[in-house]
Amino acid sequence: MHQSKIAGIGYYVPENIYTNTDLSRFMETSDEWIQERTGIKERRFANRNEETTTTMGIEAAKIAIERAGITARDVDFIVFATLSPDYYFPGCGVLLQREMGMGEIGALDIRNQCSGFVYALSVADQFVKTGMYKNVLVVGSEKHSFAMDFETRSRNVSVIFGDGAGAVVLQPTDEPGKGILSTHLHSDGADAEILAMYYPGSHANKWLKDKPAYPEQELGGLFMTPEILESGAALPYMDGPAVFKKAVVKFPEVIKEALAANHLTEKDIDMLVPHQANLRISQYVQQLLGLNDDQVFNNIQKYGNTTAASVPIALCEAWEAGKIKDGDLVCLAAFGSGFTWASALIRW
């Protein structure tokens, strides 16, 4: 079997910058309050009428494809990770395939939220390793801003997220010890509801007993009423402290799992690229693993949490800045809604 390598990488973020002070115009918050809890200083929001999850993914994909030395027509398969698709269905993969003029190739959409890109990378890795495909495009893209509630009632969630996209092209490599060494995927749905968006969903009422529900009727009944919208029941929900407690356990666990599987230790890591969920989580994991500042890359300060896009955006920025070099050991790790968590170990 072949190993797979990242042959090209790219990212895209919208031009619109919203600082913490900008958000304080819409809700009761402050730059100090947000930075103290998340480390975020600003984030990017897409042009509401012109940019979508797909169009941002395309911009990132164009760069990754060019850097891989191929064309869009050479792509054999697409894996697209997002929690904020253009449509409820179909997924963004086929929209990207259409707009980029690709052949009638397969397109798979991944719904693993913050862990989405690492899951997508693992899926693509299997296709390349088995020889089924030679050029797999992996995209993580998010447009959170269209669904955020910028009122005080939602500030614990809405100040965290931003928009953007990242992409890589995976290709086979015969270089010994190079490329993706292993990937590790996990989930536990026991506490799925502490970080979720219940509507639209056929089981929403069970988790919203204290909220206005859709009327009881023999058929149908799942629709947005003014009462539901006013109550905030249709908005994303997060128990921040509970999520934090789980993340700081599962992040280091899955990183250590990847290292152990390859007979390596924390000291061997040249660059850890964690999902940009919260700077405090990254700092805690860094301290726990005994890594120095040069071994961990964070950019949540500039972009906020871009969920499925955060790992490829950060990975690309680190590489462009010369912080990832040929032969470096790179670890990717993510934890998010589901709960799902994952890691990938790469010899660059």
Which one is catalytic: 275, 278, 299, 316? 275
Query: How far apart are the C-alpha atoms of 84 and 308, rounded to whole Å?
Result: 10
Q: How many residues does the chain have?
A: 348
User: Is 114 in the active site?
Assistant: yes
Who contacts 109 (Cβ-Cβ below 8 Å, separation ≥6)? 80, 81, 82, 85, 91, 92, 93
Who contacts 317 (Cβ-Cβ below 8 Å, separation ≥6)? 11, 297, 299
Who contacts 258 (Cβ-Cβ below 8 Å, separation ≥6)? 181, 182, 183, 184, 331, 333, 343, 344, 345
Please give the C-alpha separations between residue 107 and each of 67, 94, 319, in angstroms, as whole numbers: 21, 6, 27
Q: Which residue has the tokens 């058929």?
A: 219
User: Is 275 in the active site?
Assistant: yes
User: Is 305 in the active site?
Assistant: yes
| Contact status, residue 303 vs residue 165, Cβ threshold 8 Å | no
Which one is catalytic: 20, 92, 112, 114? 114
| Contact status, residue 10 vs residue 316, Cβ threshold 8 Å | yes
Let me know the angle formed at the C-alpha of 245 by 264 and 109, rounded to the nearest 5 degrees: 70
| Contact status, residue 177 vs residue 329, Cβ threshold 8 Å | no
> What are 125's two structure tokens?
């890795």
Q: Is 92 exposed, middle or buried (0-12, 13-18, 19+ CB in 10 A)?
A: buried
Q: Which residues are catalytic?
A: 114, 275, 305
